Structure 1
Amino acid sequence: MSLDLTMTTHPAISAIPAADWDGLGDGNPFTSHRFLLALEESRSVGTGTGWQPLHLTIQRGATMLGAVPLYAKSHSQGEYIFDHAWAQAYQRAGGRYYPKLQATVPFTPATGARLLARDPAIRQALLAGMCQLAERGGASGVHVTFCTEAEARLGPEAGFLPRLTQQFHWLNRGYASYDDFLAQLSSRKRKALRKERQRAQDFGGRILRLTGDDLRPAHWDAFWAFYQDTGSRKWGQPYLTRAFFDRLQQDMRDDVILVLAERDGRPIAGALNFLGPEALYGRYWGCIEDHAFLHFELCYHQAIDIAIERRLARVEAGAQGEHKLARGYLPVPIHSLHWVRDAGFHRALEDYLQQERAAMGSDIDLLTEWGPFRRADRV
């Protein structure tokens, strides 16, 4: 690192001025200072969670030039680009996989910049700095997950191994309406989705979209019940605390759209979305009553409606789920970078990732062919 640059770690995002941090970002809601602060001050991350903040910054004098949302991890939960098998192999070989360093946004499988800097040279310095930090602190390695493709291309020069996984995203081709989108699908798929939406909307209530000052504490009380139900079934216990949603109401209500289903004046299901400059990010869903296709309506079809109305380029609907394919969400590559201190394990990982990338590329091509679009309209 240049002698006039200073690299610093911060055990809390509150130690970093919000204007300095956000001035390096691209408007992504999840890497915003307010989102990361909400995670920390609600105690969703921090002591006892296995996510210990260790944010990295690079400064020249008083000017912040680069930053990374960074965490020391004592497990591999809540990451969505999983390395459990790597951890087991590492430990079987006699190594200690945890702690490791994770450059990401906790519990958030959404793509976005992780190396917050304007200058590519500063991004390289951030990668090198994380490796130095791992060496000094005894971490097994560094993992940069859900990064941009441009960041992934920088990784090999810094000794990082690229990994390719996939998600299903809906891509807006300038549609004026949902019917415009349906017109690009095969006749059979088009009819199936119209029928699905009709059945979902016939659940006996109404669907609301709430954002900004329309959101009230009672809405978050209802959504907390939905989130607890989903979290207990998926993860054993929810990752986020109730206080996190209070922070959303306080500091980020203009960044979210809560889609609620009400029956007899009572919320029975909901899907929480975050707004970015170019994308809508579907994050959490839950319900206290089961109704046919209501999950698909609130999470996927309503998200498409919102993206069309707001002229957003895409919808990112979260991790996993090949059921999204039939609803117009296509497989897209997701990038991450990985570096481990142990040279032998690094070489083995390099071989594995090379094979995985080839297989993943084939899977993406095959799934795209299986998609609902008419052949002439496939991307």
Structure 2
Amino acid sequence: MYKLTTHPAIAEIPAAEWNALADPDTPFMHHEFLSAMEAHGCVGERLGWIPTHLALRGERDQVVAAAPCYLKLNSYGEFVFDWSWADAYERSGRRYYPKLVIASPYTPATGPRILTGQAQGGDERARAIAQGSIQIAERLGVSSLHWLFTAHEETRQLEQTGLMRRVGCQFHWQSRGYTTFEDFLASLSASKRKMIKRERRRVAESGLRIRRLRGDEVTEAEWATFHRLYCDTFDKRGGLPTLTLPFFLQIAESMGERLLLVLAQDGAEIVAAAFNLCGSRSLYGRHWGCFRDYHSLHFEACYYQGLEHCIENGLQRFEPGAQGEHKISRGFLPTPTWSAHWIADPNFRSAVSRFLLAETDSMDDYIAEMHSRSPYRSDGTHSDSSIEPT
């Protein structure tokens, strides 16, 4: 009934067909975002992300499911760290790279990786593309296949296909029906409420002007300044700034309503910025940069402005990015994330399976410990019941 094809460029799959299958809450999975990366040198052999996209086709050759897939020559930009696996694999005399990765490059944000749309039969098509991805990995002779930051139910489907589940942790915010930022503050303990008010006051007293702009409201000069800030952050941390200015300019034009840029200005000068992606229900914080240090500005630009945007626009979740226990005291709770993995070598697959069992127990303990630091009031005004189990 189905045929699975691979594509070295997402342009081979019509944008309308791809986007009709994509979740409106995950803009980083949309054709415009992924194609801009390919068009402007953000992926490719030089960076170790070689497009190998999957398209499941029906009887009339129409695309009925899809997944963004890459032949990976390294583990950079994945945020699900397997360097120890690569080291062990290569110490045993085998090549770990290339491998296959199904993900949105450089984007540790959760959501469906199998695009199936809303039509009936989505589970069947998801199983077909999951099973087919293993067959493609076997055909290519790669060491492994990795689905990153998958949705919870999707992870279960991948496990049923024979992949191994891995649990991680990020810190996410979920709305509890707040209508104002003050409502959110009222749900916190007194000490955390005072801390946030003090941090916001510090920024206000610095004289900085904070602006929130949709991507299509940002000028080309402002995008250029943001890109310098983005590159500066990577330079300070010894990383590689893979996203180019033309990439940002293109997505500002093609999907500007899905972008949120927070700018901090000292007079006429932009001194800091935070870049976010906007889904239909969620906000995703991605990049930050600052030319000079200002007390609490990072918290204001990356967290509090995003929280205000969510509350004002009825968004239910805010994922501010990977890692960061300091986010807990600012309202972001530990939340499990998932990935699914297939290893070609049976002996190494068995060793990884044992490792994942131990790692999951450790991660469960870590999440429980982080929950014990919740900043929310313990008088029943806040519930964590919507957090997914591991």
Q: TM bucket by the smaller chain?
A: over 0.9
Contact 2:260 2:278 in 1 (8 A): yes
Structure 1 position 235, deviation (Å):
4.5
- For 1:111 and 1:167, how far apart are their aligned partners in 2? 10
Q: Per-residue CA shift, 1:194-228, capped at 9, x if unaligned? A: 11111022222210111154211011011011101
Contact 1:231 1:239 in 2 (8 A): no
SS at match of 1:297: helix
Structure 1 position 340, deviation (Å):
0.6
- For 1:162 and 1:13, how far apart are their aligned partners in 2? 27
Question: What does residue 388 of structure 2 align with?
Answer: none
Show the 5 A alignment for 1:1-12: 4-12=1-9
Question: What does residue 325 of structure 1 align with?
Answer: 328
Q: Per-residue CA shift, 1:333-356, capped at 9, x if unaligned? A: 001100010001111111111111
Question: What does residue 24 of structure 1 align with?
Answer: 21
- For 2:231 and 2:278, how far apart are their aligned partners in 1? 23
Question: What does residue 339 of structure 2 align with?
Answer: 336
Question: What does residue 316 of structure 1 align with?
Answer: 319
Moved more, 316-325 or 247-256: 247-256
Question: What does residue 14 of structure 1 align with?
Answer: 11
In structure 2, runs of 5+ residues without a counterpart are 385-390
Question: What does residue 387 of structure 2 align with?
Answer: none
Report whether the alignment pairs 1:102 with 2:101. Answer: yes
Show the 5 A alignment for 1:287-302: 287-302=290-305
Supply the AA of the counterpart residue of 1:218.
A
- For 2:128 and 2:267, how far apart are their aligned partners in 1? 57
Question: What does residue 260 of structure 2 align with?
Answer: 257
Question: Which residue of the other structure, out of 222, 227, 251, is the alignment partner of 1:224?
Answer: 227
Supply the AA of the counterpart residue of 1:111.
T
SS at match of 1:81: coil
Report whether the alignment pairs 1:162 with 2:160. Answer: no
Moved more, 273-282 or 114-123: 114-123
Question: What does residue 64 of structure 1 align with?
Answer: 63
Q: 1:286 to 1:365 in 2, by over 3 A?
A: same
- For 1:285 and 1:203, how far apart are their aligned partners in 2? 19
Structure 1 position 47, deviation (Å):
2.9
Contact 1:78 1:239 in 2 (8 A): no
Question: What does residue 195 of structure 1 align with?
Answer: 198
Once superposed, what is the RMSD of the aligned Cα atoms? 1.1
SS at match of 1:360: helix
Give aligned-pair identity as a percent: 43
Q: Per-residue CA shift, 1:311-346, capped at 9, x if unaligned? A: 100100010111111100001000110001000111
- For 1:53 and 1:234, how far apart are their aligned partners in 2? 27
SS at match of 2:47: coil
Structure 1 position 121, deviation (Å):
1.6
- For 1:312 and 1:39, how far apart are their aligned partners in 2? 27
- For 2:178 and 2:54, how far apart are their aligned partners in 1? 41
Question: Which residue of the other structure, out of 42, 45, 48, is the alignment partner of 1:47?
Answer: 45
Contact 2:49 2:73 in 1 (8 A): yes
Q: 1:9 to 1:247 in 2, by over 3 A?
A: same
Contact 1:217 1:249 in 2 (8 A): no
- For 1:223 and 1:39, how far apart are their aligned partners in 2? 17
Structure 1 position 357, deviation (Å):
1.1
Question: What does residue 87 of structure 2 align with?
Answer: 88
TM-score (norm 2): 0.94
SS at match of 1:163: strand
Report whether the alignment pairs 1:37 with 2:35. Answer: yes
Supply the AA of the counterpart residue of 1:337.
A
Supply the AA of the counterpart residue of 2:154.
E
Report whether the alignment pairs 1:126 with 2:129. Answer: yes
Structure 1 position 246, deviation (Å):
1.5
Question: Which residue of the other structure, out of 274, 283, 302, is the alignment partner of 1:280?
Answer: 283
Moved more, 283-292 or 242-251: 242-251
Question: Which residue of the other structure, out of 363, 374, 377, is the alignment partner of 2:377?
Answer: 374
- For 2:235 and 2:30, how far apart are their aligned partners in 1? 28
Supply the AA of the counterpart residue of 1:189.
K
- For 2:65 and 2:238, how far apart are their aligned partners in 1? 34
Structure 1 position 90, deviation (Å):
0.8
- For 1:101 and 1:213, how far apart are their aligned partners in 2? 34
Moved more, 239-248 or 299-308: 239-248
Runs of 4+ in 1 over 6 A off after TM superposition: none
Contact 2:53 2:66 in 1 (8 A): yes
